[in-house]
Amino acid sequence: MADLRINLAGIQSPNPFWLASAPPTNSGYQVMRAFEAGWGGAVWKTLGEPIINVTSRFAALHYGGQRVLGLNNIELITDRPLEENLKEMAEVKRRFPHHALIASLMVEHKREAWHEIVKQVEAIGVDGLELNFGCPHGMAERGMGSAVGQHPDLVRQQVEWVKEVAQTPVIVKLTPNITDIRFTARAASEGGADAVSMINTINSLMGVDLDTWLPVPHVDGKGAHGGYCGPAVKPIALNMVAECARDPQVGIPISGIGGISNWRDAVEFLLMGATGVQVCTAVMHHGFRIVEDMIDGLNNYLDQKGIASVTDIVGKSVSSYSDWGHLNLNYKIVARIHEETCINCNKCHIACEDASHQCIDIIRDEATGKERLVVREEDCVGCNLCMIVCPVEGTVEMVEVPTGQPPLTWNQRQAALGLVK
């Protein structure tokens, strides 16, 4: 059995699976139940000045028979008194001393406010701090959350304020609602952050009720933009993690967040540079016990690969992730259709004919009347669309075809033509 222990910027955890700051970490009761189920750490629901939440807070996107492909929320930070939260956090840490307990914090843009809350939460023995610069709704309108996270200078400044008094590692949680997340990640690093976590939720409107014409969700006839999360955001989150992991100007550990629903998702984030992962929506959908499958799946995967520790896979795929200009223009793949498993649904032909490069022909045997699908490989551009739409796994195979030409990237081509400035 592999060693699943991680060390994120000095924060020890029995495994890489943490609960993200969200409704599942709203109370000591919940966090203790999560630790009993097997979660390695938890980021407490964000602490700050007292707020008032509304009812009708969540809405979900269901698609193709899958429930909760995406989740939208308009819930704010904790609405419970700070003293009550601190008391429960101290009890959690007393009962689970070897699990990672992180305090998520959000206060107004004042040095003394940050100093005060940092000292209060560290006094009860938390293992680290997570500064919430990502919440896109409600708090952002008050100059906090993503209102800070969208400005690198503010991120840098507030991290510096926190680091003036913090005695535990500081993680900065970043918003995806920005042109390039690397700039705020760099600012966090420059300010002294020990790690970054990403992504927080994405600005969204889940939908509109076609009968009432009201936004979904609505509060007494009015709606507001909320934060979008769940499986649908995973590709966005994974890209942002990878971009920061390969940026030497960031240069600090990453806690990966966004659409992680099972052990496979977690491994992808680890391979792309995350030291550990945080989970929210999957727990809201299925409960704390999903961590059992996550731990078992990760253990089995590492054992099958002959890998002794989960830390040995962190960042192993980062070097293969690059910019488009570094891709080999002379690499060629084509589609091949295996007749023995083809069910002749013709979805590949339709997709190619209507949306791609018209290189899949329907060939009819005049004697038997049977039709078969054939790819004209000389016209195939290897786009993968036919493989993607095929309902029978493995029936359409993408095969590399030698071109007899040496590797050539766009950047190399431009340089050879003297077109690089």
Q: Catalytic residue positions?
A: 135
CA distance 35 to 37: 5
Please give the backbone phi and psi of residue 61, each rounded to the nearest 5 degrees, phi first: -100, 120
CA distance 130 to 46: 9
Q: Tell me which residue of 79, 132, 126, 82 sits closest to 104, measured CA to CA.
A: 132
CA distances from 219 to 55, 209, 225, 228, 322 (A): 7, 13, 12, 18, 44
Please give the backbone phi and psi of residue 11, each rounded to the nearest 5 degrees, phi first: -95, 115
Beta bridge partners of 47: 105
> CB within 8 A of 285, min separation 6: which ones?
67, 68, 71
CA distance 372 to 338: 10
Please give the backbone phi and psi of residue 52, each rounded to the nearest 5 degrees, phi first: -125, 125
With beta carbons less than 8 A apart as the criterion, state whether 42 and 102 touch: yes
CA distance 194 to 172: 8
> CB within 8 A of 247, min separation 6: which ones?
182, 185, 186
Q: Tell me which residue of 239, 275, 245 sits closest to 259, measured CA to CA.
A: 239
What DSSP line would sit under 199-262, residue for residue? --PEEE--EE-TTT--EES-BTTB---EEEESGGGHHHHHHHHHHHHT-TTT-S-EEEESS--S
Strand order in the sheet with 202-204: 58-63, 66-73, 226-229, 202-204
CA distance 213 to 71: 20
Q: Tell me which residue of 165, 158, 163 sits closest to 143, measured CA to CA.
A: 158
Residue 39 Cα to chain centre, angstroms: 18
Beta bridge partners of 12: 7
Q: Tell me which residue of 229, 301, 226 sits closest to 270, measured CA to CA.
A: 301
